[in-house]
Amino acid sequence: MYEELKQMLQESRRTLAFTGAGISTLSGIRDFRGKNGVYLEPWHGKSVEEILSLDCFLAEPALFYGWAAEFLYRLEEFHPAAVHRALAGLEQSGLLRGVYTQNIDLLHQQAGSRHVYELHGSPARHHCLKCRKQFGYAEIAPLVLAGKVPRCGCGGLVKPDIVFYGENLDEALLNQAFADMEKAELVLVLGSSLTVQPAASLPMAANYGGGKIVIVNAQPTPLDRYAALRYDDLQSVFEELENWLEHR
> What superfamily would CATH give domain 1-28+79-120+169-248?
TPP-binding domain (3.40.50.1220)
Catalytic residue among 108, 120, 127, 247: 120
pLDDT value for 94:
97
Domain with CATH 3.30.1600.10 in the chain: 30-77+122-162
Residue 152, annotated ligand binder?
yes
pLDDT value for 33:
53
pLDDT value for 70:
87
79 part of the active site: no
pLDDT value for 199:
75
Residues 6+ away with beta carbon under 8 Å from 148: 65
Cα distances (Å, whole numbers) of residue 134 to 46, 126, 151, 157, 160 = 29, 6, 11, 12, 10
Q: How many secondary structure helices (H) and strands (E) does the chain include?
A: 11, 9
Residue 128, annotated ligand binder?
yes
- The pTM of this model reads 0.92
- Tens digit of pLDDT at every position of the chain (248 positions): 799 999 999 999 999 999 999 999 899 886 655 555 555 566 678 888 899 999 999 999 999 999 999 888 998 899 999 999 999 999 999 999 999 999 999 999 999 999 999 999 999 999 999 999 999 999 999 999 999 999 999 999 999 999 999 999 999 999 999 999 999 999 999 999 898 788 779 999 999 999 999 999 999 999 999 999 999 999 999 999 999 999 88
Residue 56, annotated ligand binder?
no
30-77+122-162 architecture in CATH? 2-Layer Sandwich (3.30)
Domain with CATH 3.40.50.1220 in the chain: 1-28+79-120+169-248
Instruction: Please provide residue 37's backbone torsions phi and psi, each rounded to the nearest 5 degrees.
Output: -65, 155
Distance CA 107, CA 188 (A): 17
DSSP assignment of 1-54: --HHHHHHHHH-SSEEEEE-HHHHGGGTPPPSSSTT-GGGS-BTTB-HHHHTBH
